[in-house]
Chains A and B, each alone.
Chain A
Amino acid sequence: MSLNIVVLAKQVPDTRNVGKDAMKEDGTINRAALPAIFNPEDLNALEQALRLKDANPGSTVTMLTMGLPRAAEIIREAMYRGADSGIVLTDRALGGADTLATSYSLAQAAKKIGNFDIILGGRQAIDGDTAQVGPQIAEKLGIPQVTYAEEILELKDGYVVVKRRLENGVETVKAPLPCVVTVNGSAAECRPRNAMRLQKYKYAASPSEQATLSDTRKELLTKRPFLNISEWNAAFVEADPQQIGLAGSPTKVKSIENVVFTAKENLTIDGDNDDQIDNLMKELIANHTIG
Chain B
Amino acid sequence: MSTQLLSFDQILCALRRIRRRGVFWAAIKTFSACAWSVLALLWLFSVLAHQWPEIAWNRWLYVACTVAVLTLCCALLGRWAWRFRDLLTVAQAVEAKKSGFADGLIATVQFSKDFSNQHPPELVTALAEQTAEKLRDCQVELHPPQFYGRPWLAMIALWGACLLIPNGIFSIHFKWLEEQAAISQTKHQGPLVADLSVRCVFPEHMQREPRLWENWVGDLKLPKGAKLELQARALEPVRAAQIQMGEQKIPLKIEDERKISGEWTLTEGGSWGFAVETLRGAQLEEGNLRKIVLEPDLPPTVTLLEPANDLELDDPAQIQIAYRAADDFGLSRIQAVLSLAGDDENPTNVPQLVELKREIESDDRIDLTQMDVQHGDRLAIFVEAFDNDSVDGPKRGTSVTRFVTIRSPRQKHHALTERLRQWEEDALTALANRVEGFDAENPNPVEPTGLRAKLVTETDGLSESMRQILLELKEDPLTAEEIRLALLSHLNSFDDARMAEKSLLAQGVKEAALLHQNGLVVAQLEEMIVFLEAMNARMALEDMADLTRELQDARDNLKALIEAYRQNPNDALKAKIFRDIKRLQERMEEIRKRMAEMQQKMPEEFLNLDGLKKNDLQKGLEKSRNELNSLEKMLEEDRFEEALDALDKMSQALDELSNSLQKDMQDLHDETYPELQRALSELMDQTRDLMRQQDEVSEKTEALSKKEEEAQKELLEQELKDQFDKLVELATALRLEVEQIDPDSAFGFLQVALNKTQLNVDDLWNFLSQKQPTQALESAESALEALQDLSNYWQSSDRVSKGHATRGRDIDQEIVNELLKLLRRAHQKMKQQEQGMQELSQQQQDVADRAERLQQQLGEKQKEFGEMGQISDEPLSQAQEAMGRAKKRLQQGRAGQARPAQREASRALQGMMESLKQATKPQPADRPSRSQQSRSPAHERVQIPSADDHQSPEAFRKELLDAMKAEPVDGYREQVKHYYEKIIQ
Please say whether chains A and B are actual partners in one complex: no
Q: Which residues of B contact A (CB under 8 A)?
A: none
Q: Which residues of A contact B (CB under 8 A)?
A: none
